[in-house]
C-alpha cells in the first residue's frame, strides 16, 4: 500500500471509499430486516449481526441498560445516505445509532469482492 496524491493504492488497485456502518436495535428481527433490505437493494455487500450485546447509555437524563443486536454493514461511502434512510425507515428507535467508519485498508481480494457486489 502506498499513497499517490489523494488515492491509496493497495496491491495495484485504487482504494475506493469503503465504509462500515454500525447500528444497533433491540430486536433480532429488526436487525435481520435491516440486513436483508440493504443486501437486496445492493446498498451493502455484507451485514454481520451480533448479539445480544449489552449497551449502557444515557437517555433523557437517565442511565439506561439494554440488550441489543448490532449490525455491521460493509458498503461504500457514496451509498451512506441511502443506507441511513433504509435504517431509519425500519428502525424502531426515536434516535437510532447510525455511524460510519472508513475502511482505510483491506485485502485486495476482499475489496474486489466488495466492489463487485455493490456494482
According to the model, what pLDDT value does residue 119 have? 82
pLDDT of residue 14: 53
- Could you report the per-residue pLDDT of 38-61, keeping only the tens digit for each? 999 999 999 999 999 999 999 999
Predicted local confidence at residue 40, as pLDDT: 97
Measure the CA–CA gap between 39 and 47, rounded to whole angstroms.
8
11, three cell numbers: 496491491
Phi and psi based region of residue 22 (left: phi greater than 0; alpha: psi -120 to 50; beta: remaining): beta
- Output phi, psi for 56, to 5 deg: -125, 130
Q: Which residues of the chain are under the pLDDT cut of 70?
A: 1-16
State the pLDDT at residue 96.
96
CATH of 2-118 given 2.60.40.10, 3.40.1110.10, 3.30.70.120, 3.90.1150.10: 3.30.70.120
Q: Name the 3-class secondary structure at 72.
A: strand
The x, y and z cell numbers of residue 59, run together, are 437517555
Q: How many residues does this entry show for the chain?
A: 119
Amino acid at each position: 500500500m502506498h499513497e499517490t496524491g489523494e488515492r491509496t493504492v493497495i496491491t495495484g488497485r485504487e482504494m475506493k471509499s469503503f465504509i462500515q456502518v454500525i447500528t444497533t436495535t433491540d430486536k433480532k428481527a429488526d436487525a435481520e430486516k435491516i440486513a436483508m433490505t440493504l443486501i437486496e437493494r445492493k446498498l451493502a455487500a455484507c451485514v454481520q449481526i451480533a448479539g445480544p450485546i449489552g449497551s449502557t447509555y444515557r437517555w433523557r437524563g437517565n442511565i439506561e441498560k439494554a440488550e441489543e443486536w448490532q449490525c455491521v454493514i460493509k458498503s461504500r461511502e457514496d451509498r451512506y445516505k441511502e443506507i441511513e434512510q433504509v435504517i431509519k425507515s425500519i428502525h424502531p428507535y426515536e434516535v437510532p445509532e447510525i455511524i460510519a467508519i472508513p475502511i482505510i485498508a483491506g485485502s485486495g481480494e476482499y475489496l474486489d469482492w466488495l466492489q463487485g457486489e455493490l456494482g
